Structure 1
Amino acid sequence: MLCLTFWKSVLCIVSLSSVTAKVLPDGRPHANMVRPPGVPLVRIPAPDAPVISSNGTVLPPYNTLYEFDQLIDHKNPSLGTFKQRFWHTYEFYEPGGPIILSTPGETNAGGYTGYLTNRTINGLIAQQENGGTIILEHRFYGFSNPYPDLSVASLKYHTIQQAIDDLEYFAKNVHLPIPGGDQLTPNKAPSILIGGSYSGALTSWTMVNNPGLFFAGYSSSGVVQAILDFWQYFEPIRQNLPQNCSADVQAVMSHIDRVFLSGNKMAIQAIKESFGMENVNHFDDSLQVTSGPGAQFYQFCDALEVKDGQSAPASGWGLDHALAAWSNYWKITYFATICGKYDAETCLGSYDATQTSWHNTSIDNAGRSWMWIVWNEVGYLQEGAPLGQLLLRQCQQMFTGAFPYGIVIPNTFRTNLLNQGWNVKFDRLFFANGIRDPWREATMSAQGLNAKSTLSQPIALSDGFHCSDFGASAAQVDPTIATVHKQALESFRMWPATWKPTGQGRPVASPRSFPQPARKVSQPVISKQLSAWLKGAGVL
């Protein structure tokens, strides 16, 4: 989603692959909800073909499904277990090599078997270090659900801490379908945790919560800092748009903002009609989706910037041409793509709480599962309306009864307090980020943060986008991503050589690994007075 935001409005260039949560009657996605960061898919030609290991052994196909008995509630094991899905290969594995665990996070993991292969950084590390790879489906996504619905009662067990504890319990207890697979727990084999986007943050948060459990980690575009009003999402987009397109988009948005704030009903209706949205009842619905599409980004910018066969100068063509071109492109080219046979109000309106999308509690509804985390723990609100208004309405529509007092404020303070956010300092934790990533400002490469990259905690920055560094092929077209891969592979060549087994359930590093011994980060220490206050305020 590409958005530029002003005081009360936000206009977005929406990618169909990124919108979630609200769906039209025929099941297609609605375009006006906060959506998850997301890990990109990596396709492989034949996921159901037998795999040939490095020593010539025929192994099960990449898409072979396995299940693990995961605890429903790690605070109360008496509640029992549920089946958590995972996929695994030991294509490159040799005894003594690492076990590389990854979750795609907020999605059905069934399509992510490409992350078992050397088409990704996961597989490149496995190939280099003779390791085995695992993809684990996150609880409450896909078909890894403690209960058969996504009701408020079920989602009680959908928290970041439960997800962190899942990773620990899995790593310590899984018997992998591999020779000696019951002897590959973190105290007997080096374990590497890899994630991207939300699961990249989960990688950092897990290593903070359980220091020493995973020997090393790789976080791609990890959104480690939970941010309530995440207006910064739009900054990397604004900064990296072609200058002429950026100038004209901002000119249009400034104009629409002024008109809508003026209260001039005739002028407002004229703009709505120009976009074919005269029947959309609420301003925020019309403003949030008056858009040119990210999936057709270059066509959209061409529509604004190419006139009579000539491209606009860096300053753009100006408001009159840009407004006409944008509205024309929306009506003629893109509206049918996202709305099909539906009228604008049915397609874009978000106030009708009787719509199925607001109360669909069936499993494998990733949008609903993600919004639960958004509205409880992480925020990342990409909204231009006065803070909390849109959030409060949509949250209460989707999760009836979950917030009975009308207070819907994601507890980002607690999330950052417990997981250290931007303040994380942890040995053998590799961060890879992209300059053009809209989520950059929640990562360790946020502008103004000036986090220091070190040998023990590298922070590598490419010219890429969100999780660009995950795909091995990206290095062939972007030399800055090739540099990130080289730095990562050098780190993961150095680090496992320092590992040695222990009998205490947690791995340790050789004292020769770094000038200072590996740091163990515990929960933040706070005073008794502050602790009492936080508990009283419901933060702890």
Structure 2
Amino acid sequence: MNSPKFSVRWLQFMVMILSISVSSSVARIDIPRLSPTRGTILEQLDLLSSAAVSNDLQTFYYTQTLDHFNYRPESYVTFQQRYVMNFNYWGGANGSAPILAYLGAEGPLDDDLAVIGWLNDNAIHFNALLVYIEHRYYGKSIPFRSKEEAFKNASTLGYFNSAQAIADYAEIIMHIKKKLRALYSPVIVIGGSYGGMLASWFRLKYPHVALGALASSAPILYFDKITPTGAYFSVVTKDFREVSETCYQTIRKSWSEIDKIASQPLGLSTLSSKFQTCNPLTDSSELKDRLGLMYVSAAQYNQPPMYPVTVVCGGIDGSEKEDILSKIFAGVVAYRGNRSCYINPPTNESETKGWRWQTCSEMVIPIGIGKNTMFQPDPFDLNSFTKECKKFYGVPPRPHWVTSYYGGHDIKLILQRFGSNIIFSNGLRDPYSRGGVLENISESILAVSTANGSHCLDILPERETDPEWLIRQRKIEVKIIKGWMAKYYADLKSIQTIGFQAEH
């Protein structure tokens, strides 16, 4: 077992891809990344020290179809899609032992292997085969032979969407079952955040492939006006205000103070000096963007034992200086630790293209900032969003496609009859939880939430310091899945018995 190592380049990628505009005249198109990893919390690597990449992992490549839904000649182009398996716990095909399949999301599979612990921690309870599948256009699963060609324009990016991705997963899972002669091994798909949405949608679209799904922190209701656009930032504000009223008030007042100083002669230079920026600020929005990123990251990944929101507020409230911006900078230092510079380190914009394309095509999550938060108001404007996306890619987004293809409106009315065997797990301190399923839909589509949990916390590795409520949440998930499997095996035995009797 080896501890995971995260490169500076990966940290920079996470910082940038989470970036959101707190106050800007340009429409926000970098929707906060839907990632089970801790985003900029990765700057505090001790939080991940318990995760480990198993030595039992074996890497494979599947010759994947480029386009599952058309029959033009170019649709038959293929690419190599990466998947990884761990046979160490598997009870084997003869016993129809189960398969736990992790559905990769918007990032290289390598990072999920290091950070996602639920499969490895629970494989022994199920005697399960573990499978991890990389999402097309990420990591090493790149069509058109190179990333440059794949991301060339909207024509090559047009094959980059969630429907193609879950069709990929279906092909690979069925390929694995055929190859291992594990026809009757039940499959549970697991995913976090965007991957959690994929897991729930996979169960709905491919019930013949997956027996059930664990969808962690999956905001499937944050589309098409189902969830209020300002819900995300309302939860961020609530998280901070519950920790410290004075911290909340300081942050709320800081934006106008930044604007005030920026408007003065040499104001940007003053701000650059006060916040020890890595490069001179060219606009006050650059500073506000980075501070906003820090606050939303702290809230979204507000995990024990450190609780980043508490860390930030501890720095702000504990500052010996009286002026507002000195207090804010003390919060930055508390969060990021002692560094030579802060705020705007060099980044590689090419790394953001995948998630930006997804949000500019189908994953239109309308996040805006309302009036009653600790941020400056910045409502979501679809027209401006569309203009910005067209400027990048030459095609407009489809804001209603997700609900048209997967559903979402009146979800309880529809899925209580139509769907089954999905766990929607959430932590209510996660800003994305407001777009999640927080109430049971039926006897087998269940919501498992914790008041103090954060983004995808339940599928991260178990730690000795885990609080009891987190341990209990994971046990509930395992119990539910065991119940699904017990019913499946009973049905399988009954069918096989009837078949045997018919033959004799």
TM-score (norm 1): 0.67
**Deviation of residue 486 (structure 1)?**
1.5
Which residue matches 2:501? Answer: none
Higher mean displacement: 470-479 or 73-82: 470-479
Which residue matches 2:80? Answer: 83
- Distance, in Å, in 2 between the alignment partners of 1:493 and 1:374 is 35
Which residue matches 1:380? Answer: 365
Which residue matches 2:111? Answer: 111
Which residue matches 2:486? Answer: 497
* 1:140-160 Cα shifts (integer Å, max 9, x gaps): 110101212322222110011
Cα RMSD (Å): 4.0
Task: Verify: 1:487 aligned to 2:476, yes or no.
Answer: yes
- Distance, in Å, in 1 between the alignment partners of 2:66 and 2:324 is 53
Q: 2:214 aligns with which of 213, 218, 235?
A: 218
Change (3 A) 1:106 1:458: same
**Deviation of residue 440 (structure 1)?**
0.8
* 1:134-193 Cα shifts (integer Å, max 9, x gaps): 0000001101012123222221100111112112222222367xxxx44224xx321111
Change (3 A) 1:184 1:141: same
Which residue matches 1:414? Answer: 401
Which residue matches 1:96? Answer: 96
Q: Which structure 2 residues correspond to residues 56-205 of structure 1 after superposition, within 5 A?
A: 61-62=56-57, 64-76=58-70, 78=73, 79-94=76-91, 95-114=95-114, 120-147=117-144, 148-149=146-147, 150-152=151-153, 153-174=155-176, 181-185=179-183, 188-205=184-201
Whether the aligned pair in 1 keeps the contact of 2:84 and 2:133 (CA below 8 Å) is: yes
Change (3 A) 1:238 1:267: farther
Higher mean displacement: 292-301 or 74-83: 292-301
Change (3 A) 1:282 1:338: closer
- Distance, in Å, in 1 between the alignment partners of 2:221 and 2:284 is 31
**Deviation of residue 75 (structure 1)?**
1.4
Task: Verify: 1:302 aligned to 2:302, yes or no.
Answer: no
- Distance, in Å, in 2 between the alignment partners of 1:303 and 1:263 is 22
Whether the aligned pair in 1 keeps the contact of 2:121 and 2:462 (CA below 8 Å) is: no
Partner amino acid for 1:104? Answer: G
- Distance, in Å, in 2 between the alignment partners of 1:509 and 1:75 is 36
Unpaired segments ≥5 residues, structure 2: 1-10, 20-27, 39-47, 299-307, 370-377, 496-504
Q: Which structure 2 residues correspond to residues 460-471 of structure 1 after superposition, within 5 A?
A: 460-462=448-450, 463-471=452-460
**Deviation of residue 220 (structure 1)?**
0.9
Which residue matches 1:314? Answer: none
Which residue matches 2:255? Answer: 256
More helix by share: 2
Partner amino acid for 1:441? Answer: R
Which residue matches 1:56? Answer: none
Which residue matches 2:341? Answer: 336
Unpaired segments ≥5 residues, structure 1: 1-14, 24-30, 50-60, 309-316, 348-355, 446-450, 511-540
Task: Verify: 1:439 aligned to 2:432, yes or no.
Answer: yes
**Deviation of residue 472 (structure 1)?**
4.3
- Distance, in Å, in 2 between the alignment partners of 1:222 and 1:390 is 26
Which residue matches 1:38? Answer: 35
Whether the aligned pair in 2 keeps the contact of 1:98 and 1:191 (CA below 8 Å) is: yes
Number of equivalent positions = 421
- Distance, in Å, in 1 between the alignment partners of 2:194 and 2:241 is 28
* 1:491-518 Cα shifts (integer Å, max 9, x gaps): 122111222599xxxx9999xxxxxxxx
- Distance, in Å, in 2 between the alignment partners of 1:244 and 1:105 is 32
* 1:220-240 Cα shifts (integer Å, max 9, x gaps): 111212436843222332222
Which residue matches 2:24? Answer: none
* 1:106-151 Cα shifts (integer Å, max 9, x gaps): 1100233357xxx832234432222211000000110101212322
Which residue matches 1:5? Answer: none
Task: Verify: 1:231 aligned to 2:218, yes or no.
Answer: no
Q: Secondary structure at the match of 1:372?
A: helix
* 1:462-486 Cα shifts (integer Å, max 9, x gaps): 2211111013415752111111112
Whether the aligned pair in 2 keeps the contact of 1:475 and 1:481 (CA below 8 Å) is: no
Change (3 A) 1:297 1:91: same
Whether the aligned pair in 2 keeps the contact of 1:259 and 1:267 (CA below 8 Å) is: no
- Distance, in Å, in 1 between the alignment partners of 2:441 and 2:420 is 11
Which residue matches 1:457? Answer: 445
- Distance, in Å, in 1 between the alignment partners of 2:102 and 2:275 is 43
Which residue matches 1:531? Answer: none
Which residue matches 2:421? Answer: 428
Partner amino acid for 1:377? Answer: E
Partner amino acid for 2:36? Answer: V
- Distance, in Å, in 1 between the alignment partners of 2:367 and 2:340 is 22
Q: Secondary structure at the match of 1:432?
A: strand
- Distance, in Å, in 1 between the alignment partners of 2:425 and 2:243 is 30
Q: Secondary structure at the match of 1:458?
A: strand
**Deviation of residue 454 (structure 1)?**
4.7
**Deviation of residue 254 (structure 1)?**
4.3
